[in-house]
Amino acid sequence: MTGRLILVRHGETTANVRHSLDTRPPGAPLTELGRSQARAVGERLAEIVGARDGTAGRLTGVHTSEAVRARTTGILLARSMERYAGLPPDSVPVTPRAGLHEFSAGDLEDRTDAASIEMFRSAHLAALSGDPAGMTPGGENITDFLGRYRTVIEGVVLPEMAGRAPGDAVVVVHASAMRLFARHATGIAVEDAHPLPNTGVIILEPGDAPFGRWRLTAWDHRPR
């Protein structure tokens, strides 16, 4: 398979503004800035997949997590891609997928205090390194996370891409989850799994390689 898996972080949310742990769907909505970011990244994605002159280029579809912020970002960026490329309205499919939600904060959900945020960061760092003990109280570890994530990506998204080779799929998800999945899919060093801004992009090329040896072609870690 020669397609690309394009992971996109959602736009800014009200939870981002108040610095709260928001990992459980449906979650917080986008801010007005977040909606603007989603429309802007749609044009960028159109260029990446070669959508222009009334054609969708390599795009096979847009998938999102079930969280409100991801679904809204997916819809806004898809409509922006359509306008930019001269495609008919609502012609780019946007499909929410169970299992693509954020790495779980467990009992720390919605907290804003420094101790809780640091506990979540420590669990995430341990999960990045592959330590199955890395989890918050009531949360999940890297084994649980990859189990649900890989089921969707490898069982649903990649087969759809292969059906229209060479096909590119856009997957709108969450920062911690993106970093975890991309780091373990490619085997890059933990220190290279940089934080991502809202609507930051990671591009992976699975090819015919096994999970853990996929090719990383872009990691967007511009400062917010």
Rounded mean pLDDT for each run of 10 residues along the chain, 224 residues in total: 91 97 98 98 97 96 98 98 97 97 98 97 97 95 98 96 90 98 97 95 96 95 44
State the helix-helix crossing angle for 114-128 and 175-186, rounded to 10 degrees. Answer: 20
Name which of 180, 193, 186 is nearest 207 in CA terms: 186
pLDDT the model gives residue 164: 81
Give φ, ψ of 198 to 5 degrees: -60, 135
The tokens describing 138, both together, are: 């009531």
DSSP conformation letters of 190-206: GGGS----TT-EEEEE-
Name which of 155, 161, 193 is nearest 177 in CA terms: 193
pLDDT the model gives residue 1: 60
pLDDT the model gives residue 93: 95
pLDDT the model gives residue 165: 78
Q: Domain boundaries in the chain?
A: 4-103+141-219
pTM for the whole structure: 0.95
The tokens describing 217, both together, are: 């072609």
pLDDT the model gives residue 148: 98
**What CATH number was assigned to the domain covering residues 4-103+141-219?**
3.40.50.1240
- Looking at this protein, which amino acid is placed at residue 187? G
